[in-house]
Structure 1
Amino acid sequence: MKTPFRLALLTLTAAASSLIHAGERVGDFALIDHTGYQHHMSWYDDHDAVVFLPQAVGLTDQASLSALQAVYNEYADQDVAFFLINPGLQTDREAVANAIADIPLPVLMDDAQLVSGALGLTHMNQAVVYDPATFEVVYRGPVQQELEQAIRQLKAAESVELVEVASNGRSIEYGGVDATAISYQDDIAPIIAENCAECHRAGGIAPFAMDSNLAVQGWSPMIREVVMTKRMPPGQIDNKVGHEIKNEMNLSDAEMQTLVRWIDAGATVQDSDADPLTQLVWSDTKWKMGEPDLIIKVPPQVIPATGVVDYMDIPIDLGLTEDRWVKGSEVAPGSPEVLHHIITSVVPPEGQSDPQTAFMEAINSLPEERARAIRTQMFASIAAGEQPDIDRIFRENPDIDVGVLLGGGDADQASVAGYAPGNSVSWNPEGVGGLLRAGSGLSLQMHYTTTGKEMTDATEIGIYFYPEGEVPEERMSGGVGNAFTLSIPPNAKDHEMELVTYVPEEAEIRSLMPHMHFRGKRMKFIAEYPDGSEELLLSVPAYSFNWQLSHELAEPLRVPAGTKIIARGAFDNSAQNRFNPDPTTEVNWGEQSWEEMFMGFYEWKLVSQNN
């Protein structure tokens, strides 16, 4: 029989009681650590306990840290996770890393102070034991025997009540937004309108509308959860590192504080005749960029209610009788519920080049010694009745453009937008464009998924041209990195991979896009320059297959010829990944969503065309 235990509950300061009450459930949350990895507490539900201790540069309680290290040494290999947590006292990752150089614990960066407040942390010598199965705090106080008792009881699956032991260390100062001063009309509604309402509205792609104060009040527990776990807004990046991203979708720390503290205070709405959310007006056109010059109607596709739909390759005749320069393009999905993605290739009048021929031409363009070695390797594999190791060839020769296998070629040739959730528009900067020659067509690789209901998709593609006779001076180009072989072991929680893409000429990098499937976990992009130095460009710490986003740099980054873009990421093939179809299987490369890919898509503009 399980025996509840309760040690003496000691009252903390008034500040502590305002942050959390004894026995209350904290809930799930996610934070990025000082090295850029995101830790989502639901991912630790296969652990018995999680332990936190505050950390801050120059303010860490060293006696508590030493005591925690002793506990860590005893329990770290016994399904107990240990973290330090910086309660918004510093945001400088490098300074935090230097302060704990000899400590083997990640520091969760609670820049908005929301998690520290929810955990009830008020002093720097105050540790917390958290149950990841119930999202409850079971101990709060100094690192002493009561903390270890809480760990042991969680490990024994015994019923545990919250134990609090008074702490008298240095106080943690909480700042930012005052919950009592938050106004729905002036503070909350503008955040919803700017970050949420475009999708969460009647006719939007989100599953419910946030179009009034009553709707926001009703959905407030859900809003709190997705903000605390960083699930929404979608496609979040680590905006404390790397380059500034133009189309970043993160909430600011102040916006997160405003939403969560307003909800925690009761989500009250002051009486007012004017609700800003009810006054929002949305365009009734399907085209975000305005009415296109050319609208291509994809033949309607009937998608069954259940089963697997094979990839479709659909040819499209554009009907162009004269050459036209393209300014941009856009996909308007007919039924986004079932349309998973479209990969669009331009087919020139003479037809698409053969990928195998293009691949051999790319090999032959290499220095002869390297080209000869690759040809010898390929012929030996074929002679032995085996497939050549294409992945190895690209890995060892990153200056071969993977794009040649995807139909790349003519430098003037236009590209036309594809589609994935969150990514439907391709728009060139002013003075940049691509050519659609008379007689050109499109080849659409279309991927559908079933939803339990038969649906008909009637997608359209819009193309925007430069005025007749106007020829843009510059062209956009780019590269693709693709790992052609994958082998992700069963139950692997963090299977790491690395991919290198070569920038052949001096170029201005414009955007970066990761691509994986259901088991994709994280990816970051690093520029390695010819002199050996490295620079972090972008970190996507919590990749989501549901949102295929291209991240555009706020300012193009000029890099020298020979720069390598390193995509470094990981897969989660464990049961902790709620999107994982089957954690017991080895996963290999494949086009279907339950298989995997590891790709990076890059857009850059060659500097040579300006000379």
Structure 2
Amino acid sequence: MRTVVRLVLLTLTAAASSALHAGERVGDFALIDHTGYQHHMSWYDDHDAVVILPQAVGGTDQASLSALQALYNQYADQDVAFFLINPGQQTDRQAVAQAIPNVPIPVLMDDAQLVSEALGLTHMDQAVVYDPATFEVVYRGPVQAQLEQAVRSLKAGESPELMQVASQGQMIQYGGVDGAAVSYQDEIAPIIAENCAECHRAGGIAPFAMDSNLAVQGWSPMIREVVMTKRMPPGQIDNKVGHQIKNEMNLSDEEMQTLVRWIDAGASVEGSDQDPLTELVWSDTKWTMGTPDLIIKVPPQTIPATGVVDYMDIPIDLGLTQDRWVKGSEVAPGSPEVLHHIITTVVPPEGRADPQTAFIQAINSLPEERAAAIRAQMFAAMAAGEQPDIDRIFRENPDIDVGVLLGGGDADQASVAGYAPGNAVSWNPDGVGGLLRAGSGLSLQMHYTTTGKEMTDATEIGIYFYPEGEVPAERMSGGVGNAFTISIPPQAKDHEMQLVTFVPEEAEIRSLMPHMHFRGKRMKFIAQYPDGSEELLLSVPAYSFNWQLSHELAEPLRVPAGTKILAVGAFDNSAQNRFNPDPATEVNWGEQSWEEMFMGFYEWKLVSQTD
């Protein structure tokens, strides 16, 4: 236990110091910095101290910034984390970056002003030091000797009481709602109904219901915590950059501010003559898109209480006696507690193509000079008794379609929805569809995880057809990027990888989906155009293996032939990753959750539909 130490104020600043408030704490929080990197502050609990100073374009206290940089240079490699924080003064990341050239300290973008409020920041020259193990604030005031003394005390394992030294800098202007004036009925309930209640209800997939004012009031501390750390709503993207996403789950800055300030003001439900959450009505059907034309019942699978469940490959006979054009499909999981994912592959009547044959055909489809070089590489490897470097072949030849090896190839062939938490529906735009030929079947790769209780899963798959005789005019296509070689060192906190996927023809990109396992940390997608220009499409700064989401663009993006989609991501194989099964081991490619994958799934529609 750390020894309690009282910091003695210098005579010069004693008159300017406010009363001490021992035990003041700031809760855990997560913010995205001006470069797009998300910082979840509990991740820094292996550090000795965290130091934060406000920043704003045209409002930064330059003397304080210079003093902070000097401390950064002294302590940054000594387990002290330094941050600037923009307290909602600007949301333009580029403007913030231009205002602090050559400053290596990340700027946390507090667009809703909630973290700055929680830290007690009132002036632009006012820094905060807190203990990341306890979140207890030990210093609030200018960047001066007392701040460094607080840092040294924390590094020495001591527990100093809070010292507050008055600041004379520019005041921080806080705006937005007054939490005490927020109406549960008119403001809080609509936010819960729109963003939370579908899962947090009786029979929903969430662990508790928010179906009344008393429930929301009772769970308000938890609501505050998950909003401040961006854990909920799930699968959040960085919606301040890239393209607008149709199905994004983020709360707006205004919604976050309304919720958190209402909770901080006591979460009062008084003054409401009705409770909108009690009036919500949910469909009792498992099918969100209506009753399917064809329902496929997957054979029930009994999942043990503990242990590792091997991947299952389950063949399904669709029983189709005539060709049918598919409008969409949906998976209704029987036991979502144990069903982690399903990868669905359509098997044509003649059977699946042999992957090795498909790979050779893909190589032979390249220009002969490149194809000959690849064949020579493969022959040399086999002659030496080694496996060919498949990952290098795909990396150097991104125009090879990985999807062909996964069962694609027929331009007319339909796809059928797979499943992962938050991703169970595949639906084509009007006039777009794929063909299920008579005699077709499905191959289901099903992955289950144990929960401590034996369960039986009876999943169903629903398929929706176009009316008989109606042939949709267009087809959907897409691509898959897959790193076949992964080697993540033990204890690596941010092991970065890149992956390129080739768009062979002019196309309209519709959706993007990252895929990693327990150690997946972040991923963003960048379009690299033939003229050398680049464009950020999507950033997922806090990837979660628990939510395998396909992110659909609000408006399709037309890209020229030869466009490359660059996926840039990273893994956290350290002990700071609370999902990490074993931070002491090197992690390689594999199908099980404790192994890793690095993949990007893309849906696009070719502009030319002639082929």
| 1:271-320 Cα deviation digits (max 9, x unpaired) | 44411111110000000101000000000001111111111000000000
Per the alignment, residue 391 of structure 2 pairs with 391
Deviations 1:142-173 (A, max 9, x none): 00011001000100111211110000100000
With over 3 angstroms needed to count, the CA separation of the structure-2 counterparts of 1:354 and 1:398, relative to structure 1, is same
Displacement after TM superposition at 1:124 (Å) = 0.4
Cα deviation 1:166-213 (Å, max 9, x = unaligned)? 001000000011212201111111100000000000000000111111
SS at match of 2:160: coil
Q: Does 1:276 align with 2:276?
A: yes
Distance 2:14 2:486 in 1: 54
Equivalent residue runs for 1:54-93 within 5 Å: 54-93=54-93
Q: Please name the residue that 2:150 is paired with.
A: 150
Q: Distance in 2 between matches of 1:442 and 1:149?
A: 66
Aligned equivalent of 1:2: 3
Q: Is the 8 A contact 2:521 2:569 kept in 1?
A: yes
Q: Deviation of residue 3 (structure 1)? A: 4.2
The residue aligned with 2:524 is 524
Q: Scaled by the length of structure 2, what TM-score is found?
A: 0.98
1:388-407 per-position Cα deviation (integer Å, ceiling 9, x unaligned): 11000000000001111101
Residue 398 of structure 2 aligns to a residue in which SS?
Answer: coil
Separation in 1 of the partners of 2:36 and 2:16?
Answer: 33
CA distance in 2, matches of 1:44, 1:531: 41
* Structure 2 partner of 1:254: 254
Corresponding residue for residue 51 of structure 2: 51
Q: How does 1:297-316 map to 2 (within 5 A)?
A: 297-316=297-316
- Tell me how large the CA RMSD over aligned residues is: 1.5
How much has 1:581 moved relative to structure 2?
A: 0.2
1:454 aligns with 454
Structure 2 residue aligned with 1:111 = 111
Question: In structure 1, how many angstroms separate the alpha carbons of the residues matched to 2:8 and 2:255?
Answer: 39
- Segment drifting more, 262-271 vs 33-42: 262-271
Give the C-alpha shift of residue 6 in structure 1.
Answer: 3.6
Which residue in the other structure is 1:548 paired with? 548
Give the Cα separation in 2 of the matches to 1:429 and 1:272: 42
Deviations for 1:347-371, whole angstroms, at most 9, x for unmatched residues? 0001010111001000000000000
Question: Which position in structure 2 is the counterpart of 1:37?
Answer: 37
CA distance in 2, matches of 1:539, 1:381: 38
| Cα distance, 1:339 vs structure 2 | 0.4
Report the CA distance shift for 1:11/1:442 in structure 2 as closer, same or farther (over 3 A). Answer: farther
Q: Map residues 458-469 of structure 1 onto 2, 5 A cutoff.
A: 458-469=458-469
Contact 2:21 2:162 survives alignment (8 Å): no
State the TM-score, normalized to the length of structure 1: 0.98
Q: Is the 8 A contact 2:507 2:607 kept in 1?
A: yes
Q: Please give the per-residue CA displacement for 1:80-128, whole angstroms capped at 9, x wherever unaligned.
A: 0111100000000000010111111110000000000000000000011
Deviations 1:529-576 (A, max 9, x none): 001110000000000000000000000000000000000000000000
SS in 2 for 1:67: helix
Identity of aligned residues (%): 87
- Give the whole-Å Cα distance in 2 for the aligned partners of 1:342 and 1:12: 63
Decide whether the 8 Å contact of 2:183 with 2:272 is kept in 1. no
Q: Which amino acid aligns with 2:3?
A: K
Residue in 1 that maps onto 2:196: 196
User: What letter corresponds to residue 528 of structure 1 in structure 2?
Assistant: Q
Determine the C-alpha separation between the residues in 2 that align with 1:427 and 1:102: 47
Counterpart AA for 1:66 = S
What amino acid sits opposite 1:153 in the alignment? S
Cα deviation per residue 1:471-529 (whole Å; 9 max; x = unaligned)? 00000000000000100000000000000000000000000000000000000000000
Taking structure 1 as reference, are residues 467 and 163 closer, same or farther at Cα in structure 2, changes over 3 Å only? same
Partner of 2:358: 358
Distance of 2:124 and 2:249 partners within structure 1:
33
Correspondence list, 1:168-207, <5 A: 168-207=168-207
The match for 2:570 is 570
SS in 1 for 2:350: coil
Indicate the SS of the match to 1:565: strand
Count of residue pairs brought into register by the alignment: 607
Q: CA deviation at 1:2?
A: 2.1
* Residues 558-567 or 272-281, more deviating: 272-281
Aligned residues of 1:7 and 1:163 also touching (Cα < 8 A) = no
Q: How far apart, CA to CA, are the structure 1 residues paired with 2:67 and 2:205? A: 50
Alignment of structure 1 residues 126-525 onto 2, 5 Å: 126-525=126-525
Question: Which stretches in structure 2 are left out of the alignment for 5+ residues?
Answer: none
CA 1:71–1:593: 2 relative to 1, 3 Å: same
Amino acid at match of 1:220: S
How far 1:380 moved relative to its partner?
Answer: 1.1
Q: CA deviation at 1:270?
A: 1.0
Q: Does the aligned pair in 1 maintain the 2:327–2:465 contact within 8 Å?
A: yes
Q: Contact 1:11–1:166 (CA<8 Å) still a contact in 2?
A: no
2:453 and 2:274 map into 1 onto residues whose CA distance is 40
User: Taking structure 1 as reference, are residues 610 and 246 closer, same or farther at Cα in structure 2, changes over 3 Å only?
Assistant: farther
State the secondary structure of the residue aligned to 2:58.
coil
CA deviation map 1:25-74 (0-9, x unaligned): 11100000000000011110110001111000011000110111111111
Task: Check the 8 A contact 2:243/2:553 in 1, yes or no.
Answer: yes
5+ long unaligned stretches in structure 1: none
Whether the 8 Å CA contact 1:494–1:570 is kept in 2: the answer is yes
Asked if 1 retains the 8 angstrom alpha-carbon contact of 2:493 and 2:572, the reply is yes
Runs of 4 or more, structure 1, over 6 Å off, are 9-13
Residue 23 of structure 1: CA displacement? 3.5
Q: CA deviation at 1:7?
A: 3.9
The answer (yes or no) to whether the contact 2:139–2:164 under 8 Å persists in 1 is yes
Contact 1:10 1:166 in 2 (8 A): no
Conserved? CA contact 1:487–1:586, under 8 Å: yes
Q: Within 2, Cα distance between the matches of 1:109 and 1:12? A: 30
